[in-house]
Amino acid sequence: EAGVAQSPRYKIIEKRQSVAFWCNPISGHATLYWYQQILGQGPKLLIQFQNNGVVDDSQLPKDRFSAERLKGVDSTLKIQPAKLEDSAVYLCASSLGNQDELFFGSGTQLSVL
């Protein structure tokens, strides 16, 4: 079974630039999550989708972050404009339903200079 796919693996940008991350969940998984993991901290939930609807985006900095999940499959997370403190690993995860085990992708490591 293919896992959660994320791209790119690494990204380096300058502050005030924009960046986008892509996630392809496991086939058939209705629930998709984006987490931010800052160095030395545990992952923090940014947004949770159920199919193509948002379940929880309470910790998403909406002035600069946006996410969408078109057609209830792939998802993109965008940051515009980026700040130095956005340097982190951005993890995508998916689960069959919102009570089931999460499967994580390998993440995108973002460095903002």
Partner 1 sequence: AQSVSQHNHHVILSEAASLELGCNYSYGGTVNLFWYVQYPGQHLQLLLKYFSGDPLVKGIKGFEAEFIKSKFSFNLRKPSVQWSDTAEYFCAVAITGGGNKLTFGTGTQLKVEL
- Choose, by CB under 8 A, the member of 44, 54, 80, 83 that binds partner 1: 44
Give the number of other Cβ atoms within 10 Å of residue 87's Cβ.
17
Give the number of other Cβ atoms within 10 Å of residue 50's Cβ.
15
Beta bridge partner(s), residue 8: none
List C-alpha distances in Å: 27 to 5, 8, 16.
Answer: 11, 20, 35
98 binds partner 1 (CB under 8 A): yes
- Quote the least distance from Cβ 41 to partner 1, whole Å: 6
75 binds partner 1 (CB under 8 A): no
Q: Fill in the per-residue mask, 14 to 43: x = in contact with partner 1 (CB under 8 A), - = not in contact.
A: -----------------x-x------xxxx
- Choose, by CB under 8 A, the member of 17, 52, 87, 106 that binds partner 1: 106
d(CA 7, CA 89): 12
Which of residues 22 and 104 has its CB atom nearest to partner 1 in the complex? 104
